Structure 1
Amino acid sequence: MKLQAVGKSSKWYVYQKIVIVFILFMLPLLSMNIWLNYKGMSITKHAILNSSLAGASFYSKQLDKEMFFIRNLQLQLLNDKDLQKLGFRGGLLGNYEEVQLIDQVRDRLSTLTVSSDYVVNAGVYVEAVGKTISTDTGVTNTPNAEMKLISSLMAEKPKPSFYRSGSRIFLIETENNGGIWSYIEISRPKLLEALQEIAALYPQSEVLLGSKELGTVLATAKDTKESNRMLSLTSEPDVLDADASEIRKLNGVSYFIIPNQVSSLHLSLLMYVNQNEITRPLSHFITWFYTLFIIAVIVMVLYSFSVNLMIHRPLSKLVKAFHMIETDNLNIVIDSKTKDEFHYVFNSFNNMAQKLKGSIEENYEQKIALQHSQLKQLQSQINPHFLYNSFFNIYMMCKVGDADSAAELSQKLGSYYQYITRSGADEVPFYKEYRHALDYCDIQCIRFSNRIAYEYEAMADVPPSLSVPRLIIQPIVENVFEHAFEDGMMEGMIYIGTEYRDGRLRVTVEDNGNLAQDDVIERLREKLAMDSKLIEKTGLVNVNNRLQLKYGPDSGVFVSKSTYGGLRVDLIIMLEDKEEA
């Protein structure tokens, strides 16, 4: 029975999908909560701001009314009949009448002074009598310091709504073509006190009195530059009209600006409050909102963690176990501490891994046994004609009296058969295997009566401790003697060389025979590439199969055309992976 998964593959884990679905369900609730909270905060904020606007507007109108009241008293003073009589007939009056009129004017000035807390000094200058009458300096003949100060202020053109001399503020009016001057000094501390009462509506708020042309006239803030900068903000084109609030940023701080007109002085009364101070009563609700939001986030995190703990971690453990099996690591057992569905899955996996390990071990043992049988088969494939011919060669050498050659051939032949017939280890040091192949070449060269020779390279780079399977080089050399020179050619030559680099061993055997045509090489390649079960395991094929079985598909026997004209056989063993393993 075949179970087929429905749907396309996804890069998301199961627990990630569950968490995403949960978050998608939670987002509408959180979004509605956020919207309701900010909507309520916005309504409350606007109510607070409107209250601030009403308070600032009330105080500014009170100040404006007070300034209008003082100006009206000043105009009434100029129209006073005693002052007018003194101005028109000052030089024609008797001393008694003049003194009497001056005392009456002084009484009116005193009444004006006490009528408002903003007035600190009220006075008049009557050109006809050459005197100034003031509640501060009394009756003084001119010229005097007070008359000179007022005269210097009146020289300012065009005529302002009020006059300033240093920190002093004056209201000046004239009558009778300049024959009478009325001047009133406004108390700067009282004005500042009034501004501070407006600023006291909210902490960290400031109030200033000024205009675009005059700059800041009076301000509760100690930093005059800040006041001027705030005043300049109300002069920008995109700011609303007077008596309309606006929010502006200064030095990274948002301020709620409330402009009001003091028309009696032709000035603007500007109140600016740190927006955070206005919304401070809402901070309690904001704190609760963020607390609930954090709790919601914590709930999502805990839910994600629990899903990760109950579902993702067991699945990840199972996936890692499968990855380890893919790397041929079968010594793995998944422990299960719970009695849920994963307990059954883990136990089933452990049973599967044990059965798979047993099957692989059984298959591996079969492969080892196959290697042993192949080696025994190769050892039993000793050509009896080779032995008969060798004995015949020894016999002929003895007949002709060539004892030295007979002795050498006997020694080589004995060493040769001792090597291939012993039933020792499957692997031998490479130098012994290489030496065995050279002994075979010596024997064959003697048998062929010097018709064939060979050249070989010394093993300069091959480590002495390097071990290889037995009988892997001699079958290749034997193949050359049996097939490359079977046409009886003279001056046959065999070239044998080794190379070892980066864990890769190469043994090259080449000849100068003329029988290795392209079609022959191609058939030999096909034979080496065929499934080992379908062909007879002899000669080159046997060596190729043994090497690939032990060292992997990159190792084996490879044939090509030799630069000497004959066949080139490369025996390659990839030892790097084996050494790392």
Structure 2
Amino acid sequence: MKLQSAGKASRWYVYQKIVIVFILFLLPLISMNIWLNYKGMSITKDAILNSSLAGASFYSKQLDKEMYFIRNLQLQLLNDKDLQKLSFRGSMLENYEEVELIDQVRDRLATLTVSSEYVVNAGVYVEAIGKTISTDSGVTNTPNEELKLISSLMAVTPKPSFYRSGSRIFFIETENNGAVWSYIEISRPKLLEALREIANLYPQSEVLLGDKEAGTVLTTAQEQGESAAVLGLFDDESLHNSNSPEMRKMHGVNYFITPNDVSSLHLSLIMYVNQNEITRPLSQFITWFYTLFIIAIIVMILYSFSVNLMIHRPLSKLVKAFHMIETDNLNIMIESKTKDEFHYVFNSFNNMARKLKNSIEDNYEQKIALQRSQLKQLQSQINPHFLYNSFFNIYMMCKVGDSDSAAELSQRLGSYYQYITRSGADEVPFDKEYRHALDYCDIQCIRFSNRVHFEYEEQTDVPATITVPRLIIQPIVENVFEHAFEDGMMEGKVYIRTEYREGKLCVTVEDNGNLATDAMIEQLNTKLARDSKSIENTGLINVNNRLKLKYGPESGLTASRSMHGGLKINLTIIPET
């Protein structure tokens, strides 16, 4: 009989659960992607703004330092001894001495001019000799045009930090109650060039130098009204105290504005950048984000359809077939049109149904009884108490966050039970049996790491061809952990070593426990020497009997006092030649 795909039912199918779980796992990733995208854009935007702030701050500080440097040179010039001598003794100097002093002053002015690229002219007016001395016009008798210009600027009250005449900028200082004037003209093109260097940090950014009182002194913008609008966005306090970029709207456009104080001029250097210029490089990430989001939706749809086609439909056939077997209908065959894993499952199911039918007809009860017996034998090899304790230890390690110890204990426990439950030959290579005993020690020492430890020697001299019965060393070690440290000893030690000499294999297990008395050791030796025909499932007697039956009376176990104070068990095997 051939089966068709199972019809729809009013319940959750496996494939629906898989799809829902897939979506539930995918949604946090998508949500995290959204968050990371916007967080990354925010961080990137802040990084760009901080970079602009750093750049603008650097250039503004350089400009400020340069202006302070020029002012200091100007103040030093006023205190020059030659200039002071001209001022105090001008009318009393002979012509030769006056010319010599004037030349000295001219040299100082020339030095001041070449000391900074921002200085285009430096001069002094000395009232006592009625002359102006400058690097631009030389030595000129007063009145002259240069003195008239400086006089008109000095009439401004209150005294500003710098003076402007049209597009020209001056630093003017006086000495000796106005008997000496010092004036320095600052190069407007050089200042504008410095502003353009700052503006070049970002495309379509502009920089201005000014404040609300003085207005715009210099700007890289083509339209003066734009600079005035930027200054209008700030009050005087926020203009001089702001230390971070601010976003302000001007003419319907958002600008990131970075003000920096130029204290030497009592002005602010302001860089403003269109927000779109900063965020434009980030817009491609938004496009990629939405593209990836759409791809994720398409992937979920395709995944759902694929799971339904490749898993749900074949499983529906298999589930329906099992339902029919439950009704004792064994005349069933599942047809498979694909060559995938389900093809193997369907063929295996068909074979199983056929063999099951034959088994029921031939020897159903006999085989079932045999299977139960084998299962019982397999389960009898497992010590539930040991397993429960190990699981409890793993649980406690996980609770305290000791993931490394929990992982190691899980690995050792898996290796331990894989060894004792697997089917196969009764004899195994000695190195595997020895490793199994060490795994058991590792498990116990991890469980009782605060008070029990073990030491062992790597068995390197035992031939790889030597095989031994399974589970002959582990019961000896188990006996130590169960009986040697029952009193709660805090520094328990187990010592294991092997020796192979002249065809004789010896394994020694010792402990430093203090519970084994001489009478107990003698009693144990008596039991080991006795020719016992009984069969015990566990313990030293069972191991001793197995060894003697297989290898002869010279092999087996012996007990003695350990040099460490506890019990010492020697396991001796003389392999058959």
Larger radius of gyration: 1
| TM class by smaller structure | 0.3 to 0.5
Q: TM-score, normalised by structure 2?
A: 0.47
